[in-house]
């Protein structure tokens, strides 16, 4: 948008704080190279357009905004004389994209000193060579540092997750190893008991009955009910009495195994009716080994299923075998992250899930949303631990004005009001030196806002801190081609 051209006064330009130290000769060169323009209320330039001019406000009011999704979000509104915007990085030339990184409009008739970007670059190189070198170092150095520490943040999260996953995998793996060793021993004893029975020269129909009872016993083990401790104790006493009454030695040792497998005195009566009294002790012993092997195989099955579940959760979390951009179920992502972080969360923090399972899948970058969940949950756990280590983490999903809400609520001490506006700033952290980079929430903010066109906000008071992620239900046209800066 072009404005009304007005004669340029070196004296007026020299009153602006950006140029107040320049000698008259350079002020004259500025006026010759640039111009003074008066703009009526409305847009001056638009974000993403080629950055052709550097603007310094002489008088009026300017508003700077950034595009987030389909909305323009106001970031600055000022009437301060001398503020500047536009092609501020022109001195870097073609080493960075020379486009406007925000939009500018004026709300009242406003005058600017306008300098073409090429002239701005020339003056910078000619008049401020040392400043140019310093600015170049600051610009590229901060970019490099942010990338390096951002990578470090990811590695720290990965290390924490790996430690938690190793801990979670170790328990079922150790259980499976123990059960396998015990199973080997029980199978050996069962073979020995079968050999003893076979030496008894029993009729084929007796052996057939015994095999039939073994098969039906295995079926009952698979359908064993879950008993309360009191119910289990009562049944063990009853089974022990039955075994003692029928001359079975050490019945009190066998009773807990039988009860765990869902076997009662009615089943024992069926066994006693199927074999003669002489065979009964060996039959009961053989069936005890049968029950133990079934229970051990169930334990191995549960342990290996747990391991498989953890591996699936790790794959879900990392999204290694999935497309970067896809329609994703946020509940699957949240569950995989919570499982991966379960070791870090610990037993003293209660996790409550308040999911609205009717919510649709949303277009997203799942691996990066998992990083957001990780950063926010990690902060919540740290907050709860700082207040004694006991508390509740509530993860809630809901529909909020045509957007999907994911809320993380913790019962920690809260975020002090004086730092609440800074928690999303790069490198800002309240953690001790060496324990945080200060980029976790900055990365999360850029993933949510820049890449998903959503909103990340915090509400906090002592005992109730809520990080809220709001994500659009539909994709923007440019989503599949965007890259996180």
Task: Please determine, looking at this structure, whether the domain spanning 322-481 carries the CATH number 3.60.15.10.
Answer: no
For the chain, what is the mean pLDDT?
79
Confidence of residue 485 (pLDDT cuts 50, 70, 90): very low
pLDDT > 70 fraction of the chain, expressed in percent and rounded:
76
pLDDT over threshold 60, residue 429:
no
State the average pLDDT over residues 239-262: 86
Domain 4-127 shares a fold with domain 322-481: no
CA distance 320 to 370: 12
Q: Residue 184: what pLDDT?
A: 80
Neighbours of 362 (CB within 10 A): 21
pLDDT, residue 201, reads 63
> How far is residue 412's CA from residue 198's CA, in Å, rounded to a whole number?
67
Note the pLDDT tens digit of each residue in 296-348.
Answer: 887 787 777 777 766 766 666 655 545 577 888 999 889 888 887 887 788 88
Please state the rounded mean pLDDT for residues 281-306: 79
What's the pLDDT band for 394 if we cut at 50, 70, 90? very high
For residue range 91-149, list pLDDT tens digits in order. Answer: 676 666 788 878 899 999 999 999 998 888 888 777 765 455 455 555 555 555 455 55
Q: On the CB side of 39, how many CA atoms lie within 13 Å of its CA? A: 26
Q: pLDDT value at position 417?
A: 74
Tell me the pLDDT tens digit for each residue of 40-85: 999 999 988 898 899 999 999 998 887 765 667 777 788 989 888 8
Q: Region 262-287: what's the mean pLDDT?
A: 81
Q: Using CA atoms, how far apart are residues 409 and 379, in angstroms rounded to an integer?
A: 11
Q: Cα–Cα distance between 214 and 220 in angstroms, integer?
A: 10
Q: How confident is the model at residue 481 (pLDDT cuts 50, 70, 90)?
A: very low
pLDDT band at 220 (very low <50, low <70, confident <90, very high): confident
Residue 234 has pLDDT above 50, yes or no: yes
Domain-wise residue ranges, the chain: 4-127, 161-309, 322-481
CATH number, span 4-127: 2.60.120.10
Backbone angles phi and psi of 78, in degrees to 5: -150, 155
Quick: pLDDT tens for 361-392.
Answer: 999 988 888 888 988 998 899 889 888 878 99
pLDDT at residue 161 greater than cutoff 70? no
């Amino acid at each position: 948008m072009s404005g009304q051209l007005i004669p340029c006064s070196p004296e007026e330009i020299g009153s602006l704080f950006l140029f107040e130290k320049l000698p008259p000769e350079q002020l004259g060169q500025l006026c010759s190279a640039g111009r003074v323009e008066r703009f009526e209320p409305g847009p001056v330039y638009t974000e993403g357009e080629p950055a052709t001019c550097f603007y310094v406000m002489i008088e009026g009011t300017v508003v700077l905004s950034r595009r987030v999704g389909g909305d323009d979000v106001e970031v600055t509104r000022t009437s301060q004389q001398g503020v500047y915007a536009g092609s501020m990085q022109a001195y870097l030339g073609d080493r960075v994209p020379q486009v406007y990184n925000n939009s500018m409009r004026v709300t009242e008739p406003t005058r600017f000193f306008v300098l073409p970007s090429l002239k701005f670059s020339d003056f910078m190189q000619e008049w401020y060579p040392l400043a140019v070198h310093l600015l170049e170092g600051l610009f590229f150095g901060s970019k490099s540092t942010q990338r390096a520490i951002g990578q470090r943040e990811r590695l720290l999260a990965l290390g924490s997750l790996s430690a938690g996953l190793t801990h979670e995998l170790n328990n079922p793996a150790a259980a499976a190893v123990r059960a396998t060793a015990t199973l080997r021993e029980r199978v050996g004893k069962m073979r020995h008991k079968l050999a003893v029975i076979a030496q008894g020269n029993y009729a084929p129909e007796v052996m057939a009955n015994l095999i039939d009872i073994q098969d039906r016993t295995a079926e009952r083990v698979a359908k064993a009910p879950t008993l309360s401790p009191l119910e289990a104790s009562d049944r063990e006493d009853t089974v022990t009495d039955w075994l003692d009454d029928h001359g079975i030695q050490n019945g009190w040792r066998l009773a807990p195994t039988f009860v765990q497998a869902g076997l009662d005195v009615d089943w024992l009566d069926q066994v006693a009716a199927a074999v003669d009294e002489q065979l009964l002790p060996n039959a009961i012993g053989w069936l005890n080994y049968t029950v133990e092997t079934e229970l051990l195989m169930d334990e191995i099955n549960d342990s290996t299923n747990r391991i498989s579940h953890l591996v699936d959760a790790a794959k879900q979390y990392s999204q290694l075998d999935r497309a970067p951009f896809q329609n994703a179920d946020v509940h699957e992502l949240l569950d995989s992250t919570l499982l991966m972080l379960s070791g870090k969360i610990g037993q003293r923090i209660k996790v409550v899930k308040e999911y609205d399972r009717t919510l649709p899948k949303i277009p997203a970058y799942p691996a990066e949303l998992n990083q957001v969940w990780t950063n926010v949950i990690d902060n919540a756990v740290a907050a709860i631990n700082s207040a004694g280590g006991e508390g509740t983490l509530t993860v809630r999903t809901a529909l909020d004005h045509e957007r999907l809400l994911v809320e993380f609520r913790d019962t920690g001490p809260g975020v002090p009001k004086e730092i609440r506006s800074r928690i999303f700033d790069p490198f800002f952290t309240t953690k001790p030196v060496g324990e945080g980079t200060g980029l976790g929430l900055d990365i999360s903010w850029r993933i949510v806002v820049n890449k998903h066109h959503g909103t990340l906000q915090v509400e906090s008071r002592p005992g109730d801190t809520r990080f809220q992620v709001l994500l659009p239900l539909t994709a923007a046209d440019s989503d599949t081609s965007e890259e996180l800066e």
